Amino acid sequence: MTLADVLLAAFGLLALGAALAVVTTDRIVRAGLWLAVAFAGIAGAALVLAAEFLAWVLVLVYVGAIVVLLLFATMLTKAPTDPSDDLDRSRWPGAVVAGGVGLGLGAVMVGAFGWTEADVRGPGDAAAMGEAVFAEWVLPFEVLSLLLLAALVGAVAVSTRAK
């Protein structure tokens, strides 16, 4: 095992543990903070795999925008952040479904690709990725930015009181 293998496994375990904490915590703010840790673990794994551009996009877009938007929207709307007995449900059915889907996807991936090594071609080209984003994916990119803006404006509108 090389150092890269150990680091990749460590970042993967960090992301997996944080993702489990996201779905098992009973407080929304803690779930948002654990989500930031999970995204940071995925970004660390991308750094180990020599995908620096992807790692920093993960940090800037997901941790820097989506998680912060989730936390600000929760705080601005004054939504209850404490656990509530009337809203909590049993988590076992969801855990069983998620475990089954995870095992099924793992079996499909191992069946399709086996345990072959990936062909790594070297560092990615940020110019080609930027050209693809702003040529082929510009409409979804702009729709996502409008959706995030609408969510923030909606949070502010809900948080203000009508007089």
pLDDT, tens digit (0-9, with 9 covering 90-100), for 58-99: 888 888 887 777 777 777 777 666 766 665 667 778 778 888
- Per-residue pLDDT at 147 exceeds 80: yes
In a domain, 84, yes or no: no
Residue appearing with tokens 């510009």: 138
Torsion, Cα 76 80 83 88, to 10 degrees, reads: -110
2 & 73 share domain: yes
Q: Of 20, 48, 79, which residue is a domain's last?
A: 79
Cβ atoms of 161 and 78 within 8 Å: the answer is no
Mean pLDDT, to the nearest integer, of 44-64? Answer: 86
Q: Of 22, 49, 79, which residue is a domain's last?
A: 79
In a domain, 30, yes or no: yes
Element containing residue 21 per DSSP (H, E): helix 3-24
Distance CA 37, CA 34 (A): 5
Side chain identity, residue 121: R
- Tally of domains in the chain: 2
CATH number of the domain within which 68 lies: 1.20.120.1200
74 & 143 share domain: no
Percent over 90 (pLDDT), the chain: 19
70 & 1 share domain: yes
In a domain, 72, yes or no: yes
69 & 4 share domain: yes
What pLDDT is recorded for position 44?
93
What pLDDT is recorded for position 85?
64
In a domain, 120, yes or no: no
Closest CA to 128 of 136, 119, 120: 136
In which domain, by residue range, is 55 found? 1-79
Tokens of 5: 């293998």
In a domain, 116, yes or no: no
Residue 75, C-beta contacts closer than 8 angstroms, at least 6 positions apart? 29
Residue 59, C-beta contacts closer than 8 angstroms, at least 6 positions apart? 39, 40, 43
In a domain, 111, yes or no: no
72 & 138 share domain: no
Residue appearing with tokens 């409409």: 139
Considering 23-27, 67-71, 97-101, 130-134, the range whose residues carry the highest mean pLDDT is 97-101
Q: Of 45, 79, 113, which residue is a domain's last?
A: 79
**pTM, whole model, 2 decimals?**
0.62
